[in-house]
Structure 1
Amino acid sequence: MSISRRSVLKASALFALVPLAPKLLSANEASMSEHADKMGKVMSKASEMKYVTSLVENGEVVTGAHWGILKATIKHGKIVSSNGLNTSKEKIKNPLQTVVADQVYAKSRIKHPMVRKSYLKDPHNSKPELRGKDEWVRVSYKKAIELIANAVKETREKKGPQAIFAGSYGWKSSGNMHNCVVLLQRYMSMGGGFTGITADYSTGAAQVMLPHVVGTLEVYNQQTVFPVVMENSKVIVIWGANPMVTLRIAYSVTEGSGLEFFNNLKKSDKKIILIDPIKSDTVQFLMDRKNSQWIAPIPNTDVAMMLGIMHTMYTTGKYDKKFLDNYTTGFDKFLDYMLGKTDGVVKDTKWASSICGVDEATMKDLAKTMFENRTMIMAGWGMQRAQHGEQPHWMLVTLASMIGQIGLPGGGFGFSYHYANGGNPTAKAAVIGGMNVGKATSGGAAWLQKASSVNIPVSKIADCLANPGKVIDANGGKVKYPDIDLIYWVGGNTIGHHQNINNYLKVWQKPSHIIVHDAFWTASTRHADIVMPTTTSYERDDISMSGDYSNLNIVPMKALVKRQYEAKDDYEIFSDLAEKAGFYKEYTEGKTPREWIEQFYNTALKSGKPQGISMPDFKTFWDKNMPITFEVPEEDKTYVRYSDFRDDPILNSLGTPSGKIEIYSEVVAKMNYDDCRGYPSWFEPVEWLGMKNKPAEFHLLSPHPELRLHSQLANTSLRDKYAVSDREPIWIHEEDAKAKGIKNGDIVRVFNARGEVLAGAVVGKHVRKGVLKLSEGAWYNPDSKGLCKNGCANVLTLDISTSKLANGNCPNTALVNIEKYKGKVEKVDIFEEPKNMRDFRI
């Protein structure tokens, strides 16, 4: 797993405040056979635990989710409504908070353990080519556990732990107890190991690149705080970010401060510059005021645009030479590139304009405006999810270095203002810990004692499945792909999430076993061998912090209703699998989820006392069912990122080899990659609108959706608000639509060599000409010929690496064609149960 800031935040798992000290099995304790006997006597040892202590039949219950601290109304044991806690007329509403009931009672709920027919008949000759097509058979929970346990045991014994891929990736539930990814990896780690992942899809390029530049991940660091920005910044540049949408969520539980900041920013007299090929919700929100400017460059050309701005700064003398000399290294080598001394190409505004499509006057004005005013550049992550995605953020840091305001109040750059309320001051809090991945037990052969250290870049799973044994470059080192024969996926919808789905489905047939836990019949569950129905976060007790950076609250996540159908918590499932494998005691430490939650709380309570943090005892906290809110120290309200470094760059040096901002990185240069030099550079993408022989006509961008969290909430009534002709909406410029004979509301076919989808046309001026917007996260729903009826963007995207350095993913580098659809329109049926299911139990 990645050791990024985000991993610490989202995987409370790896670096939890509550360390595990599992007592290893001794020779005199229960043997494997004794464990097996116990499993024969009871269906599930874990089921003996009391999972939910109490439920409210009628009343209001407070809980939490990615989209906020929630208050749900319960009548006769059913959820009838939900909203954010402490909502008011003054606050911006978050529509994602209103559909709790839709999730719990969705038609797409997985009701029972299900096994693919051919797999159930013979797991060793299961016809994997039938995944997604085969009949489903309902089995007992006991049978499903036996099948999973046998598959894991057999794979380890025959092919070793590296043959098991448990690098599940996705936005699992917010709770610290029921972190299904950690629970899976805890089971796999204790059992002997697995193949895991490095990095993530969100910031795959930037989080590998930026440590070479500024010594930290940066994309998951606290920003110069909102109050400082409001007081000191004169110009705000929002570059490739859509915070009015992405701040509706957080990896833990959002506390909503970011939306309020941008609402206040709208009311201010600051100049706001919005750079995005899409007229996003944020652009529309902030353009409805004086002193706002929208600039729409050609997609994937931000680096060229920045170079044009910086060339103007240099030639006009409007740049901070003193800052460059004192706080950065390597500007001279970059300057030779920018002035054309290394390649004969001068990167001036004329050159930049021919690439990015922004006129020279605009770039020259930006250079003057940003240098002459206290400027904060708030950049998003979308432009690094493209080929050569390492370059935009590196180039932006270089631009900010030329402006010279890094470390000053309200100046510099920030890469997390659009994510998880980066910028809300950090509270003086007692932080809740969570589950840990654990240690290998002694219940097996000697090679089981050490968990596998094999990891692959998360975005390379398809390449790994297709090419076992292949060696790739990665950040100056080498990675050898293992031969994966078992995939265990929890907490995410990988088919739909990964790029070039049609290719992914081909390599998805290679492993012998695919096991998925989920609450819903997504594309990933439909293409598995064994499916385990799990609870939603509203059917189990849990606990979380609110505020990924601020740690503003401890939130009780109380179960709202009983577990639906045969759904079980991941903890119960993995506890029973641990029982089968002989380390149940170590896995559970004898604790129910409620006891784990109480332990997490009490550890935080204990750690808070020396700091003077007042918290009630656990019972009082739990019974009151309200969040604890911590105070923010005055000094934290004035936090300025890099101020210490600016004050004393020697004493407070950065984590780079030079201790400074590395505009030129000797480390990167020595890697000698042809797709990432030692300084930030413009590289032509493999697919973009400026290429000579385009494979398709339009550039497709697939940003974060407005009314979902990736693919989460796609099966709720929110879909009624955005679906067009019952399809995912696709934005097209009105002139492009006219040329193609497309009208608003038409069903259109979007296609390229990788695949084809249907979508509903939204015609207007919300995108640059030549650009289409089809949000990621639509559930993949193919017809018999492979046409996705529901508009899943990843059918069309490229599955290539950003570069040899980071191996990030490139969904925003893709060209497509579009036309009005004239074929038979089939019903979108992905939000219902599969039709090919046997309704009797085996």
Structure 2
Amino acid sequence: MTLRPNTSHWGAFLAEADADGRLTIVPHPADPAPTPLLDNLTTALTHPSRITAPAIRRGWLENGPGSDDRRGRDSYVEVSWDEALDLTARELARIRDEHGNQAIYGGSYGWASAGRFHHAQSQLRRFLNTIGGFTASRNTYSFGTSQVVLPHIVGDYQQVVHRGTSWRSITANTELLVAFGGVPAKNVFVTPGGVTRHTTPGHLAELSRAGIEVALVSPIRTDLPSTIDAQWLPIRPGTDVALMLGIAHTLVTEGLHDKDFLDRYCTGYAEFERYLFDGVPKDATWASAITEIPAADIVALARKMAASRTMITVTWSLQRTEYGEQPIWAGITLAAMLGQIGLPGGGFGHGYGSMGDVGTDGSRAGVPALPQGVNPVTEFIPVARIADMLLHPGEEYSYNGSERRYPGIRLVYWAGGNPFHHHQDLNRLRRAFGRPETIVVHEPFWTATARHADIVLPVTTSLEREDFGAGRGDSHLIAMHQIAAPAGLARDDYAIFAGLAARLGVEDAYTEGRTAREWLEHLYSAWRTEPSFSEFWEAGALELPVDESEHVLFADFRADPERAALPTPSGRIEITSKTVAGFGYADCPGHPVWLAPSSWADAGRFPLHLIANQPNTRLHSQLDGGPTSQAGKVAGREAIRIHPADATARGITDGDVVRVFNDLGACLAGAVVSAEVRQGVVQLPTGAWFSPVDSLDEPLCAAGNPNVLTADRGTSNLAQGCTGQHALVEVEIYSGELP
């Protein structure tokens, strides 16, 4: 057996393909906690959903470019590469010449490969920049709200998200960890570019060994490993801010808040405190009525937080809701009131359990990456507003203090990512995808995004080409050897864009005269000379220096707030932001507030609160057909967890196929009855491939994608972030013929 190195967003490994294309996968020997997600790769090369030849949608081929509601319902005609590239280049040139480069939307989301050269988003942006630019997206679905609001509070979201207090400091110094949204272990195996050493599982185990108390604030018990003996506060979904305000009110009334810290390191606290007491006091009794957490428990938690070295952590999931700015802002405010920001093991954290590299030891060496060039087009949209843009060109919208207009998009070019996984209200997205004149998609598999394209170009997986990969702060740079030949006629993104660049007269600007292998050597050698590229490639990996210090977020600021002032207008933590207050947004005022979700108006008709969280059997929707992902299905559908009392009231038992629905749509799922979700809550992970059944009178996804149920609205006028974490639904046994 000849095992060769490679890596993925969920970890590094060694692999070999047999004559039938089936893979043998062995985790990287340096990994102390490899993930079972690696098994999903074993069938990827020959999965029936592979795209093996360029294909053109029949309606587009016969009738030419134009808006078309048949996207997603039409058939395809396979063509040669020359014909596919000629058609694509001709269409790009037409749109550019007739409507300008701002009429091209470059829609890559960047998760296609862990490789740093064959990184679909970088390849697409580099290509589009060489032909004059494109309308881009800004921020992420994962934590896009935080990317906008954190700079107004502490000045730098990167420091909070990527350089937060280390797990080493937490396990050595923290006495109480208050986890809003938990620390879900299922997510810690994933990082963009991969994690060679998965150390977070070991840090989570250390919480128990170190005797650290944990308060889990979540409607789902499994948002914290069962091995951690935590106090579970099964909060009503979407009410974390009300709980934080109730705790804050208790701290003030009992004199437990740190006035000196608030005076020296913060600005705008007085306005926030007035809000706590103005009108209806935001005390523990008020918070209890909203959160359904007993008032006595709220008061007891506040006292314990003040008496302990306390770390407050808020998961990324909490900002993927309506008014998602508020839990981030309120969490930082609560930590500031405790006066422990900048102390070892104390203060505030954001994203522990949301990604594999948050709080872990990491390399600060950086890794080589493909230059993308400069985009001459300044137009952009917040990433989660794509359907609004396509459906309402020219319409005004607010974003972070500015008034903007959606551009008129004629051509969508998507390489990397699957919006029919991560976007909301997928039936609306289908309508939006009917609007452009042309949609081009690079894909290895016939995903829903590929099935809504006009020109489908088959690309290789990371197993079918050479690259190198490493995640943010990874301990190793991995030489990604080619494991197998490309499936059918598949080409890598670089070869496709090079072919288009040649047809558009910019080949030299795009390729700089280099082959893919020559680019790897060039990027590596510009980054490091020892060991040489050939030595690195032969070894299969390069170990990088790792920072093993007990890093503490804002320690320098605490030590000297003048010298290490924060990059905010005041140089301090802005509990009240005059800048945000000046925007005049009712849905995001100048300090943390409680705003009841607008969806609660539908609670009478849709009494169950759906949590659409990340799956534990795959990354997003990637390799949904893999063995680990398929093993998690129930009756061939995505599994939905429901509390025993809610199941009994509806006559639902384990294994039943159920219909989950609201006014936006419906999907089928397989029921799992579990007391690990609180009553009134159902949990259906994202990532099942969107599979609409068009023969029925009403929209129905047969596979169980919860984003047919989530509303396509922004978090607020400030961030316009994704709100796909929550929805109100009803669930019933499905009595029709199973599609």
The two structures have a TM-score, normalised by structure 2, of: 0.97
Of 126, 132, 137, 1:192 maps to 132
Counterparts of 2:546 and 2:658, CA distance in 1: 51
- What is the rounded CA distance, in whole Å, between the counterparts of 1:693 and 1:631 in structure 2? 53
1:124 CA drift (Å): 3.4
Distance in 1 between residues matched to 2:243 and 2:156, nearest whole Å: 25
Shift of the alpha carbon at 1:128? 1.4
| Structure-1 separation of matches of 2:88 and 2:579 | 45
- For residue 728 of structure 2, the aligned residue among 815, 818, 821 is 815
After superposition, give the CA deviation of every residue in 1:287-341 in whole Å (9 maximum; x if it has no partner).
4354x2111111110000100011111111112111111110111000000012x
Residue 702 of structure 1 and its aligned partner are, at CA, apart by: 0.3
Per-residue CA deviations over 1:91-110 (Å, capped at 9, x if unaligned) read: 43410122322112211100
Q: Of 147, 169, 179, which aligns to 1:238?
A: 179
Matched, 1:102 2:47: no
Instruction: Tell me the equivalent position of 1:305.
Output: 243
Matched, 1:747 2:657: yes
CA distance in 2, matches of 1:771, 1:678: 32
* Within-5 A mapping of 1:478-627: 478-546=403-471, 548=472, 550-606=473-529, 615-625=530-540, 627=541
CA distance in 2, matches of 1:212, 1:519: 40
1:638 CA drift (Å): 2.6
Contact 2:147–2:157 (CA under 8 A) maintained in structure 1: yes
Correspondent of 2:378 among 453, 456, 462: 453
CA distance, structure 1, for counterparts of residue 363 and residue 63 of structure 2: 56
Matches within 5 A, 1:122-521: 122-124=63-65, 128-218=68-158, 220-254=161-195, 255-280=197-222, 282-283=223-224, 285=225, 287-290=226-229, 292-340=230-278, 344-418=279-353, 419-427=355-363, 429=365, 431-439=366-374, 451-521=376-446
Match of 1:324, SS state, is: helix
CA distance 1:428–1:288, shift in 2 (3 Å): closer
2:682 matched to 1:772? yes
> Structure 1, residues 14-43: CA drift from partner, whole Å, max 9, x if none?
xxxxxxxxxxxxxxxxxxxxxxxxxxxxxx
Whether the aligned pair in 2 keeps the contact of 1:243 and 1:259 (CA below 8 Å) is: no
Equivalent residues of 1:114, 1:532 under 8 A apart: yes
Residues 603 and 693 (structure 1 numbering): CA distance in 2 closer, same or farther, change over 3 Å?
closer
SS at match of 2:337: helix
Q: 2:228 & 2:556 partners in 1: Cα distance? A: 36
Q: Which runs of 5+ in 1 are unaligned?
A: 1-57, 440-449, 607-614, 827-842
Is the contact between residue 258 and residue 417 of structure 1 (CA under 8 Å) also seen in structure 2? Answer: no
Q: Which moved more, 1:305-314 or 1:269-278?
A: 269-278
Q: Distance in 2 between matches of 1:711 and 1:673?
A: 35
Residues 219 and 235 in structure 2, CA contact (< 8 A), matched pair in contact too? yes
Q: Which has the larger radius of gyration?
A: 1
Q: State the SS of the aligned residue for 2:3.
A: strand
| Deviation readout 1:660-685 (Å, 9 max, x if unpaired) | 00000000011011111111100111
CA distance in 2, matches of 1:524, 1:294: 39
| CA RMSD after TM alignment | 1.6
- In structure 1, the residue corresponding to 2:598 is in which secondary structure? coil
Q: Which whole-Å CA distance do the structure 2 matches of 1:372 and 1:207 have between them?
A: 32
The answer as to whether partners of 2:169 and 2:344 remain within 8 angstroms in 1 is: yes
Equivalent position SS for 1:478: strand
Structure 2 unaligned regions, length at least 5? none
Q: Secondary structure at the match of 1:658?
A: coil
d(CA) in 1 for partners of 2:603, 2:78: 52
* 1:603 positional shift: 1.7
* % same residue: 39
The equivalent of 1:706 in structure 2 is: 616
C-alpha contact (below 8 Å) 1:83/1:98 kept by paired residues: no
Q: Are residues 1:806 and 2:719 paired?
A: yes
- Letter of the 2:736 partner, please give it: G
**Aligned partner of 2:704 among 791, 797, 800:** 791
Contact 1:190 1:451 in 2 (8 A): no
How far apart are the structure 2 equivalents of 1:482 and 1:631?
45
| C-alpha spacing 1:289/1:157, structure 2 compared with 1 (3 Å) | closer
**Amino acid corresponding to residue 324 of structure 2 in structure 1:** G
- For 1:621, give the aligned amino acid: F
Match of 1:66 in 2: 9
The one-letter code matched in structure 2 to 1:505 is: R
Q: Return the alpha-carbon distance in structure 2 between the equivalents of residues 145 and 534 of structure 1.
A: 13
The aligned residue for residue 11 of structure 1 is: none
- The CA deviation at 1:504 is 1.2
TM-score (norm 1): 0.85
How much does 1:696 deviate?
Answer: 1.4
* Change beyond 3 A, Cα 1:176–1:276: same
Question: CA distance change for structure 1 residues 580 and 389 in 2, over 3 Å: closer, same or farther?
Answer: same
> How many residues are paired up?
733
2:57 and 2:463 map into 1 onto residues whose CA distance is 28
Q: Secondary structure at the match of 1:388?
A: coil
Q: Deviations over 1:199-256 (max 9, x none)?
A: 1111121110110001111553212122221111111222214431111110111131
Q: Which residue of 1 aligns with 2:569?
A: 657
CA 692–94 in structure 1, closer or farther in 2 if over 3 Å, else same: closer
CA contact under 8 A between 2:641 and 2:674: conserved in structure 1? yes
Q: Which moved more, 1:411-420 or 1:587-596?
A: 411-420
- Structure 1 contact 775–793 (Cα < 8 Å) conserved: yes
